[in-house]
Chain A
């Protein structure tokens, strides 16, 4: 039931304080003709409504959430405590610099730490998510080429294992995408890359480790090929959790990067987040950074705009309270903790892979990084039970399914990323459930096609949802539409 359906005329809450400034009405042409349609609900009922939704949903507070490439790690509660401090939460973006020195210090400090972790020179906190960071970085690359009169550089090279957002962002930024195939080890096919580059190459977008959970050992050669032809290397930080504190994209030859604070740096992910995708770059690209950065001079912080800035990518300073949470995480973890997090993330993924690979076929049978991909093609042929069916079966056993049907180069793919915050016991439970499901797929395959049966709603009709989505609530009366 939606909160709108619980609305009763005249009920309400007392959340909003009494207006203490004079009311001003806009001129008639800007006034609504009908009242705003908001649910009218008492605080008790509102509270219960969200508690009910919370019970129906499944989050990282309920159990493991091994979505590959999503890094659904635990979000420490101290992050929330810090973000809740009134000095951070009760400020206005138009306040003067002198009155928000602490906030500016937070932005400055996180930038320093992110630079240290990634090997970049500067960071902007403005982008609101990973793909938004990609677009930001690509527009900076474009601005660089344009400033140098290199307008024929219109092509971005993307490997076929890349996140779908990479080619999408490149297209949004006005580039043409060239796809380079993977080699038999799951890395970039270097020979094919050499054939693809030229004087029209604007740059390369790469995730390392890639979406197969594999570290590309040819990375230095790859980034050099791009540099030698005048291109710029973009690092998609989606998989940074595997190498944080151990290897730096900047040292691998990358020039511009986004990091996902909501993945690697333990800020809320999914359910609205909001996300945050700071973009970092080497010095030669710094002049194109969007918006303002916080710089320190003689103990005072001030906001500084880059000389040839690409402009604003989002309002004001990005999702500032997320920046507070990420900084809290890094300061809590410390230098040693950050390193240990990555090591354990890789260890956990390999533990699960080793315990599953005799039943489920690994897409690439080698040591993985923070995630691994299984191909259920053989299981589907033998039993008719697909990757989707196993994923739905996992829901009935009380765990969140992994990423499905991705990356596209693996058929019937299931992609697991346990993260460092799951214990051995939790992983052992998951492993046992997956081994049971494998057996059940052989003994009672038909039961899978109706799974899940234990959830508030049974198997959803994904096709119907995609073809005929219902995206807005229709009020039972007419007064809602203007």
Chain B
């Protein structure tokens, strides 16, 4: 399981990379491996406003369709259109296959550091 040090994480298994007032959000490596092969991605529209813990996208794997929740609130400024045709890129490199960019972060939910996220994933794996 790959966890990058310079990113923040959510308990819903998204990664967030901040750049000043804007941010990029994607799915973690743990999430893609738990989901299995992703076959379809549904992304929001540019300009959509999303609140903390709101569902802004969904991914479909051979197992199930899952909502993706954002740990930050803001306006969607860009979407990774490449994923619409090639959802497998999330499986290939979850940290390269970003989902959306927010240009103005209006609020932040509970964010974990790489270390905290690692501990969190280990705790849910032990539970199971």
Residues from chain B with a CB closer than 8 A to the CB of A164 are 64-65
Q: Which of A99-107, A291-299, A404-412 contacts B (4 or more CB under 8 A)?
A: A404-412
Whether A405 touches B37, Cβ cut-off 8 Å, given contacts A377-B128, A467-B87, is no
Interface residue tally for chain A (C-beta within 8 Å): 12
Find out whether the CB atom of B39 lies under 8 angstroms from the CB atom of A406: no
Report if B63 contacts A (CB, 8 A). yes
Residues from chain B with a CB closer than 8 A to the CB of A18 are none
Whether A405 touches B64, Cβ cut-off 8 Å, given contacts A463-B39, A466-B39, A467-B87, is yes
Report if A336 contacts B (CB, 8 A). no
A470: min CB distance to chain B, Å: 15
Report if B30 contacts A (CB, 8 A). no
Residues from chain A with a CB closer than 8 A to the CB of B39 are 463, 466-467
A306 to B88, CA, bound (A): 50
A313: min CB distance to chain B, Å: 25
A361: min CB distance to chain B, Å: 9
A462 to B40, CA, bound (A): 13
From A375, A377, A406, A466, give the contact of B40 (CB < 8 A). A466
Report if B62 contacts A (CB, 8 A). yes
Task: Across the interface, name the chain A residue whose C-beta is closest to B91.
Answer: A463
For chain B, the bracket of interface size reads 10 to 19
Find out whether the CB atom of B64 lies under 8 angstroms from the CB atom of A462: no
A462 to B37, CA, bound (A): 9
Among A397-433, those with CB < 8 Å from B are: 404-406, 408, 411
Residues from chain A with a CB closer than 8 A to the CB of B87 are 467
Among A375-397, those with CB < 8 Å from B are: 375, 377
Residues from chain B with a CB closer than 8 A to the CB of A467 are 39-40, 87-88
B34: min CB distance to chain A, Å: 8
B7: min CB distance to chain A, Å: 25
Interface string of A347-377 (1 = CB under 8 A from B): 0000000000000000000000000000101
Question: What residues of chain A have their CB less than 8 Å away from a CB belonging to chain B?
Answer: 164, 375, 377, 404-406, 408, 411, 462-463, 466-467
Which 9 residue pairs of A and B lie closest in terms of their CB atoms, listed nearest first?
A466-B39, A463-B37, A405-B63, A462-B62, A467-B39, A377-B128, A411-B128, A408-B64, A463-B62
List 10 A-B pairs, Cβ < 8 Å.
A164-B64, A404-B63, A405-B63, A408-B64, A411-B34, A411-B128, A463-B88, A466-B37, A466-B39, A466-B40
